[in-house]
Structure 1
Amino acid sequence: PEHQNLIALAHELEIAEALTFLGAIPDAEVKAEYAHADMFCLPSVQEGFGIVFLEAMAAGLPVVSTTAAAIPEVVAHGETGILIPPGDVTSIAGALLVLLSNADLREQYGQAGRERVERYDWTRVTETFLREIAPLI
């Protein structure tokens, strides 16, 4: 819903030439778009579980996000990415600069993210769920 507003803001800030606004991407093309990225940034102030973070980490991308809601349950600060307080624009910029300037750290966080995503495999999640509820049945 904010697509046009963001495009207008990019022009106002004179950064539109450096940005590409993709809009909605078909599911079949998401993986290819992640492959073009160096990192994933979603500085949410409110977020549920956040499947999008798992998708990005599965693609080997380090994550920059916030400590809002359930995000820290998925993204491990200092392990798979950098988490900052919601609304702290200066820290978001700083985190992006840290990762942009350090390819080794991007690779380290990306690999750790790939490994962390394995915890959320449907088979593994189902087995854990059934094991936890078995005593209650």
Structure 2
Amino acid sequence: GRRSDLEMDREYRTADMLVIPSRFEPFGLVLLEGMARGLPIIASRVGGMPEIADQSGAVLWVPPGDSTALAEAIERLADDPALRRQLGSSGPRRAEAFRWERRIPEIARVYEEAIAES
């Protein structure tokens, strides 16, 4: 069910990792939330998530629907504190690029160009 922002922050703070085994994920807001909070992430390579995080170094990718690969990735991350730190420290830098404060000027520019061309 729906949780408040405060409840979500508490959940993220107590998590050791974020696992997103989606088969379909158009954008990946949960991925960005986890990256912004510095969580190491395991995710299926689907939808917009690779575009968001491929170059970030914050995600262990698994094929969608492959429960064996997912279990192995969870075990690997659970057993390797250095890898968790490495993945977790990479996410916030990439997530910063998606903050509204950075995106609004780009969106405004696109609208201004469209208006100027019409």
TM-score by length of 1: 0.75
Is 2:31 aligned against 1:46? no
Q: What does the per-residue CA deviation read over 1:24-64, in whole Å, with 9 as the maximum and x for residues that have no partner?
A: 53322111111111100010001121211111111110111
Q: Indicate the RMSD between aligned Cα atoms, in angstroms.
A: 1.9
Q: Which amino acid aligns with 1:40?
A: L
After superposition, the Cα gap between the structure-2 partners of 1:78 and 1:98, relative to the gap in structure 1 and judged at 3 Å, is: farther
CA distance in 2, matches of 1:41, 1:49: 16
2:39 matches 1:67: no
* Aligned residue pair count: 115
Q: What is the CA–CA distance in structure 2 between the aligned matches of 1:24 and 1:109, rounded to whole Å?
A: 28
Structure 2: gaps spanning 5 or more residues? none
SS at match of 1:46: coil
Q: Is 2:99 aligned against 1:116?
A: no
What's the TM-score once normalised by structure 2's chain length? Answer: 0.85
Find the residue that maps to 1:120 and give its secondary structure. coil
More relative contact order, 1 or 2 (CA 8 Å, 6+ apart): 2
Matches within 5 A, 1:117-132: 117-132=95-110
Question: In the alignment, is the contact (CA less than 8 A) between 1:62 and 1:106 conserved in 2?
Answer: yes
Task: Give the partner amino acid of 2:37.
Answer: A
Structure 1 residue identity aligned to 2:62 = I
Q: Is the contact made by 1:63 and 1:82 (CA closer than 8 Å) also made in structure 2?
A: yes
| C-alpha distance in 1 between matches for 2:98 and 2:109 | 15
Could you list the runs of 5+ residues in structure 1 that have no partner in the other structure? 1-22
- How much does 1:69 deviate? 1.1
Question: How far apart are the structure 2 equivalents of 1:122 and 1:24?
Answer: 22
